[in-house]
Chain A
């Protein structure tokens, strides 16, 4: 009788959802959202870990504050700030679209929100390093 050939499942690779070749702006929005989302989740855990040192009193806390004041650490604050802005504002686009708002204008909406993110982020960076 007839032999059946099963279709070959295509291997999925992690880089496939990071592959922006032949894709459009929406793919970049998707990747930015995913990277910032993963970063913020990582930050949340670190934050919990750091807060738990509070329980050990000033002995555990004071050395940490010293590290935080270092310029290289402030740079991480800048990364955090941009992560929050990009994820938050992109999330705003997704939410608005989800309510049927600005669906046709999703590209300009994304660009506009990202301009806000960059401008706000730049001001924030300036404040972080000067205050």
Chain B
């Protein structure tokens, strides 16, 4: 008897990590992505490998997920990360008052940290705002989102998975109350075909609601856009965060020879139609200067926006929505053979994959244990083998 066939819709970080976990546990896996790998939410994120520091005060569940996954990713993809830590810096007296909460949060979430003096912080990061009042160092890092996904997919392919880019799922096949496969349009040829599956995983991030609708179910995903502004020089080695609860323009992530300022947050209806408001770009540059004044003299190199898939809960504004993830088994909505994994962040993609693959394995009666915590990933370049 051959292994069960699982279709994963979406090749962002969640889909890529899920394909890897499924393939490692012996499933036959097909990944379908309507565009390039990581062409939306994952591709245009901060590139921040979270230490959990950003969430350790208001959202400790997310913070703990982050630090756990951070340490795992350092082991399984060491060469694909810039590992230079992060600084949370206090600029105002208000920020300084937040420090105690922050440090307590680090302790509660077992995030390694150390306080360093403003003089020492400036010696390490000479472009920091010289008016800083305090700095706390945590193990943040930087990844490159496209290659991050490719590393997971390269390993999945090595373990037998099939990955098809430019293959758009246009409908779900139904048999009675169960999803039994997908209808897929190959954009290279314009041809539509059907693919049968024992189970379909919806890993389409902010599009999860649209795909779920094809299966006749609802998923409370709130697409929330965020803008990133990249300047033409690398102005920091450590990730520089504002020592405060998350807000607009409170982080500058170094990457390659540039620095990326993030981010804003606004609710959108259609994740395919994001028009970047000009004032958001100006705000990034303005707020970024509070952390690194030299941003004022730099030229903007790139501006990007994509929708995050935040899990909607009643009566919360978009900044307050938890950044943790949810895994939905649609059997509770009366549909078998269909699960959705959404929310979360790229840093926690492996953990999300573990949770959804546990669910899939349980549903399909496969007893293999998750091994992704310790399995080193192949080079992203081997995706093209």
Q: Are A2 and B189 in contact (CB under 8 A)?
A: no
CB distance from B181 to the nearest CB of A (A): 12
A3 at the interface (CB under 8 A from B): yes
Residue of B nearest to A5 (CB): B188
Chain A residues with CB under 8 A of B193: 2-3
Chain B residues with CB under 8 A of A2: 30, 162, 164, 193, 195
B191 at the interface (CB under 8 A from A): yes
- Binary B-proximity of A1-21 (CB < 8 A = 1, otherwise 0): 011010000000000000000
Q: Given the complex of chains A and B, what is the CA–CA distance between A5 and B191 in angstroms?
A: 11
Scan residues 1-48 of chain A and give those whose CB is less than 8 A from a CB of chain B.
2-3, 5
- Binary A-proximity of B203-228 (CB < 8 A = 1, otherwise 0): 00000000000000000000000000
Band of interface residues on A: under 10
CB distance from B160 to the nearest CB of A (A): 14
Q: Are A5 and B189 in contact (CB under 8 A)?
A: yes
Q: Are B191 and A3 in contact (CB under 8 A)?
A: yes
Q: Given the complex of chains A and B, what is the CA–CA distance between A5 and B188 in angstroms?
A: 8
- Binary A-proximity of B139-164 (CB < 8 A = 1, otherwise 0): 00000000000000000000000101
CB distance from A93 to the nearest CB of B (A): 30
- Binary A-proximity of B188-201 (CB < 8 A = 1, otherwise 0): 11010101000000
CB distance from B32 to the nearest CB of A (A): 9
Chain B residues with CB under 8 A of A3: 186, 189, 191, 193
CB distance from A128 to the nearest CB of B (A): 55
Residue of A nearest to B32 (CB): A2
Q: Given the complex of chains A and B, what is the CA–CA distance between A2 and B189 in angstroms?
A: 12
Residue of A nearest to B191 (CB): A3
Chain A residues with CB under 8 A of B162: 2
Scan residues 25-81 of chain B and give those whose CB is less than 8 A from a CB of chain A.
30
Residue of A nearest to B162 (CB): A2
CB distance from B187 to the nearest CB of A (A): 10
Q: Given the complex of chains A and B, what is the CA–CA distance between A5 and B190 in angstroms?
A: 11
Q: Given the complex of chains A and B, what is the CA–CA distance between A5 and B189 in angstroms?
A: 8
Report which A residues bind B (CB closer than 8 A).
2-3, 5
8 closest A-B pairs (Cβ-Cβ)?
Answer: A5-B188, A5-B189, A2-B164, A2-B162, A5-B186, A3-B193, A2-B195, A2-B30
A selection of 9 A-B contacts at a CB cut-off of 8 Å is: A2-B30, A2-B162, A2-B164, A2-B193, A2-B195, A3-B191, A3-B193, A5-B186, A5-B189
- With A2-B195, A3-B186 already in contact, 7 other A-B pairs whose C-beta atoms are closer than 8 Å: A2-B30, A2-B162, A2-B164, A2-B193, A3-B191, A5-B188, A5-B189
